[in-house]
Amino acid sequence: MALESTPNHTQSVAGWAAHDSSGKIVPYIFKRRENGVNDVSIKVMYCGICHTDLHFAKNDWGITMYPVVPGHEITGVITKVGSNVTKFKIGDRVGVGCLAASCLECEFCQNSQENYCDQIQFTYNGIFWDGSVTYGGYSDMVVADHRYVVHVPDNLPMDAAAPLLCAGVTVFTPMKDCQLVESPGKKVGVVGLGGLGHVSVKMAKAFGHHVTVISTSPSKENEAKQRLGADSFILSTNDEQMQRGKRTLDVILDTVSAQHSLGPILELLKVNGTLALVGAPDKPIELPSFPLIFGKRSVKGSMTGSMKETQEMMDVCGKHNITCDVELIEPDQINQAFDRLARNDVRYRFVIDIAGNSKL
């Protein structure tokens, strides 16, 4: 169903969209639904640029519906609440992540695992309950069902908290699954030191683990240790370092956005260790059998987090003062930011200053 068939979409909103697989972002005026009984309206303050936005803008996964307004790392302030909404009031500092709607009835929806509902719809490039295409946070305001909105703790700055809404929760949930949130003292590896990777390091350190960054860039060693607090660094292109690192890690979080082989990385896990794959390369990754079999190792995927986990993650970040290292940009710099993200030139997350607060 197209937007034209949804008559209550009468609000004109200014945003930024890609119209084809060049991925070029241009200003775009579009319509959003009026605030419904279950909705909140949010004035967007900041929106992080996730690598997924780039995958969608360029149609890397072949599923983009153009025009696409990306953005699922949104922080802002509530401006309207529907009559069924009790959890939020006007003026609240809130966040919206990847999820916009789910069936509410399946076993996953009923058990606060709605991110695994097979009818899950995302904040952009999804189809909302009313049949309309969803548009993300590269826009002045969003209308969101209150069940897919979280509170931002008061002590977290809205710009540096924005990437927690996707990058943060995406690495928090596999950490929780691997019992890293409540029991300290494990050896944790992080592959790929970008947006997801840098917040993995910060969280794993805050939760009391020994953290090893595994990267192809020698220049990231100092940053990983001095800026982010990592304990150890393995240059994955150095055979001797990879050899020395064999069977040392309990859990590895793989956040790499491009095709790569898991074989050498799996060798770094202890027997029975787990590699949690969160990076989403468009081409299949290489998974050789021997490092799996000889070490009784597991590889598991993880897709963002439920809303309950997202709120829990925000609260944990509030408690430990975990925020992201961000580079603030203006909306007219999104294309340069995309180019730099594609070249892995970001420390560690671009965040768009949608409301122009940095200029005040």
Stretch that binds Zn ion, among 83-91, 115-123, 196-204, 273-281 (CB under 5 A): 115-123
The sign of the torsion formed by the CA atoms of 266, 272, 276, 280 equals positive
At 81, is the secondary structure helix, strand, or coil? Answer: strand
- CB of 14 closer than 8 Å to CB of 139: yes
- Of the pair 7, 62, the CB lying nearest ligand NAD is at 62
Stretch that binds ligand NAD, among 9-17, 186-194, 204-212, 265-273 (CB under 6 A): 186-194
Binding of Zn ion at residue 266 (CB under 5 A)?
no
Q: Which does 103 bind (CB under 5 to 8 A by kind): Zn ion, ligand NAD, none?
A: Zn ion
Of these, 9, 51, 176, 186, which contacts ligand NAD (CB under 6 A)? 51
Mark 331-360 with x for binding to ligand NAD (rule: CB under 6 A) and - for no binding: ----------x--x-x--------------
Give the Cα separation of 53 and 73 in Å (integer): 10
Stretch that binds ligand NAD, among 89-97, 143-151, 163-171, 263-271 (CB under 6 A): 163-171
Binding of Zn ion at residue 103 (CB under 5 A)?
yes
Q: Which does 14 bind (CB under 5 to 8 A by kind): Zn ion, ligand NAD, none?
A: none
- CB of 276 closer than 8 Å to CB of 250: no
Q: How many helices (H) and strands (E) does the chain have?
A: 11, 17
Residue 81 exposure: Cα atoms within 13 Å on the Cβ side: 16
**83-142: which residues touch ligand NAD (CB under 6 A)?**
none
Burial of 319 (0-12, 13-18, 19+ CB in 10 A): exposed
CB of 194 to ligand NAD, least distance (A): 2
Binding of ligand NAD at residue 329 (CB under 6 A)?
no
Of these, 14, 26, 104, 258, which contacts ligand NAD (CB under 6 A)? 258
Give the Cα separation of 345 and 333 in Å (integer): 14
Of these, 117, 196, 268, 334, which contacts ligand NAD (CB under 6 A)? 196
- Of the pair 5, 339, the CB lying nearest ligand NAD is at 339
Size of the site for Zn ion (CB under 5 A): 8
Of these, 3, 106, 242, 280, which contacts Zn ion (CB under 5 A)? 106
CB of 132 to ligand NAD, least distance (A): 23
Q: Which does 333 bind (CB under 5 to 8 A by kind): ligand NAD, Zn ion, none?
A: none
Closest CA to 150 of 70, 40, 303, 32: 40
Give the Cα separation of 348 and 259 in Å (integer): 20
* In 116-219, beta strands by DSSP E: 121-122, 141-145, 150-151, 187-191, 210-215
- How many residues make up the chain in this entry? 360
Stretch that binds Zn ion, among 87-95, 131-139, 158-166, 216-224 (CB under 5 A): 158-166
Report H helices in the chain: 51-57, 107-110, 158-161, 167-177, 195-206, 220-222, 239-244, 263-266, 289-293, 307-320, 334-342
Closest CA to 279 of 125, 163, 167: 167
Q: Which does 253 bind (CB under 5 to 8 A by kind): ligand NAD, Zn ion, none?
A: none
Taking CA atoms, 318 is separated from 153, 155, 323, in Å, by 6, 6, 8
**23-82: which residues touch Zn ion (CB under 5 A)?**
50, 52
- CB of 317 closer than 8 Å to CB of 199: no
CB of 80 to Zn ion, least distance (A): 26
Residues of this chain that bind Zn ion (CB under 5 A) = 50, 52, 102-103, 106, 109, 117, 166
Residues of this chain that bind ligand NAD (CB under 6 A) = 50-52, 55, 166-167, 170, 192-197, 216, 255-258, 260, 278-280, 302-304, 341, 344, 346
